[in-house]
Amino acid sequence: MNSFERFCFNLLGKKMKAKRESYVTLRNDLLSARFKTPFEVYLSTAYVSSIVVGLSAAIIIGVITWVFELPKLITYKGEVPEFLVGLSAYSLVIGTVVITIFSLLVFGGLTYLVFMLYPGLEAGNRRRNIDASLPYAINYITSMSTAGITPAEVFRLLGSSTIYGQSAVEARYIAREIDIFGRDLIDSLRLVSSSTPSRRMKEFLQGTMASVSSGGNITEYFRTKAEQYALENRQTQKMFLETLALVSESYVTAMVAGTLFLIILQSIMSVMSGDNNPLFLYAVIYLMIPLGSVMFVIMISSMTPES
């Protein structure tokens, strides 16, 4: 907890503790994302940061509006009520106040929204990383279990590894519950399985709990789950490649052939009509093509599984 977070917690911490039941989703996301910041501290920081960013943006935009007299640039030539005509002399003051309040609400609200959404996004990133690395992590612990190493030591060794990504992080939390808090293996598995963002990891840990508590063959269970998740990974990769082929065809149709057709059509129409300022052509070239390409890049990036 840094000094700013400590200041926010000292300022609003007691009030944020009373809001725990209203932010169940945020608390779960913080646990799934493995944030080290407590809920009360994070929510206090979100409130204070939203106010600071909103006020800063409002002051800056308000000063710019006042200095450059932006409200006076707005003219309306239609009929307006008579009382609004009387207020026109104060248009600069009224306009500056309205823009300042609007900036405060917009920038403060966006900052608060980012704080609320970020843990969920981070938990989603961890879920994809866990799902991608879990088959290899299970192969690793299977080989150790075959050598006769106890399940608790297996998870401890997996947690100390640096090549299994977020799967190793989950194992590290299991080892922490055992070594630091003194819980047994089954309680540690239950706690971590309840907070992990990955359905695969949750299922694997719950199955491990059942095998350990029933005295089953834990090595055979590890081997079976490794084969299952490896098969699921191959199927996921196959589906991704098929989807990627469909997206590439859509890109060629919409962003290459489609925009080329629009450019040719608009060029011919501009020549025939003698239009020296083809705004639609400019919109296609400078807006539709770049924004469409960025949209496809973001879409492909979001659907690409972790390597």
Token pair 């705004």 in the structure block, residue: 279
| pLDDT recorded at residue 306 | 59
Note the pTM of the prediction, 2 decimals: 0.79
d(CA 252, CA 208): 48
d(CA 287, CA 259): 11
The pLDDT confidence band at residue 307, using thresholds 50, 70 and 90, is low
10 Å Cβ neighbour count for 197?
25
For 205-223, what is each residue's pLDDT tens digit? 999 999 998 888 999 999 9
For 11-65, what is each residue's pLDDT tens digit? 998 899 888 889 999 999 999 999 999 999 999 999 999 999 999 999 999 999 9
For 241-264, what is each residue's pLDDT tens digit? 898 899 999 999 988 898 889 888
Q: CA 77, 82, 88, 91 torsion: positive or negative?
A: negative
d(CA 192, CA 158): 15
For 115-128, what is each residue's pLDDT tens digit? 999 999 999 999 98
With a pLDDT cut of 90, the percent of the chain lying above it is 58
Token pair 């081997």 in the structure block, residue: 223
CB 43 within 8 A of CB 3: no
With a pLDDT cut of 70, the percent of the chain lying above it is 93
The pLDDT confidence band at residue 92, using thresholds 50, 70 and 90, is confident
HEC profile of the chain? CCHHHHHHHHHHHHHHHCCHHHHHHHHHHHHHCCCCCCHHHHHHHHHHHHHHHHHHHHHHHHHHHHHCCHHHHCCCCCCCCHHHHHHHHHHHHHHHHHHHHHHHHHHHHHHHHHHHHHHHHHHHHHHHHHHHHHHHHHHHHHHHHHCCCCHHHHHHHHHCCCCCHHHHHHHHHHHHHHHCCCCCHHHHHHHHHHHCCCHHHHHHHHHHHHHHHHCCCHHHHHHHHHHHHHHHHHHHHHHHHHHHHHHHHHHHHHHHHHHHHHHHHHHHHHHHHCCCCCHHHHHHHHHHHHHHHHHHHHHHHHHCCCC
d(CA 183, CA 189): 10
Token pair 């709990």 in the structure block, residue: 209
For the segment 173-191, the average pLDDT, to the nearest whole number, is: 94
d(CA 79, CA 71): 18
Mean pLDDT across the chain, nearest whole number?
Answer: 89
d(CA 234, CA 194): 27
CB 304 within 8 A of CB 240: yes
